[in-house]
Amino acid sequence: AQSVTQPDIHITVSEGASLELRCNYSYGATPYLFWYVQSPGQGLQLLLKYFSGDTLVQGIKGFEAEFKRSQSSFNLRKPSVHWSDAAEYFCAVGAKSGGYNKLIFGAGTRLAVHP
């Protein structure tokens, strides 16, 4: 069965430091992978997605993610974190179920940013 694992529940970084959030997936075929961000009290906003092609994908807000098939990973990175990046981040994989498309989400990683 498809699944997504985000090993880190909480991460704290200093403003200006680099960031890497980990995501591992389990999926038989070529995965469709996503990162979403959720600010407190808000819905989920799509940061970036990977379907095929270049394994390094660029997203909004200066984020990027790299797909590594050999490691079943899709880690999210940002070279310099801003205080406004404090939020919860969700990795997801697309899957088919009963004739419709759905997303399987990881449990999320909560990012805190110290000034």
Q: Give the interface segment with other proteins, choosing from 19-27, 64-72, 74-82, 99-107 (CB under 8 A).
A: 99-107
Per-residue binding letters, 51-70, with other proteins (x by CB under 8 A): x-------------------
Are the C-beta atoms of residues 48 and 57 closer than 8 Å to each other?
yes
Minimum distance from CB of 58 to other proteins (Å)? Answer: 16
Nearer to other proteins, 41 or 115 (CB): 41
In the bound state with other proteins, the residue whose beta carbon lies nearer, of 17 and 46, is 46
Taking the C-alpha atoms of residue 63 and residue 81, their distance in angstroms, rounded to an integer, is 10
Please answer whether residues 106 and 39 qualify as being in contact, where contact means their C-beta atoms are separated by less than 8 angstroms. no
Is residue 46 part of the contact set for other proteins (CB under 8 A)?
yes
Q: How far is the CB of 81 from other proteins (least distance, A)?
A: 23
Q: Which residues would be at the binding site for other proteins (CB under 8 A)?
A: 32, 34, 36, 41-46, 49, 51, 90, 94-95, 97-103, 105-108
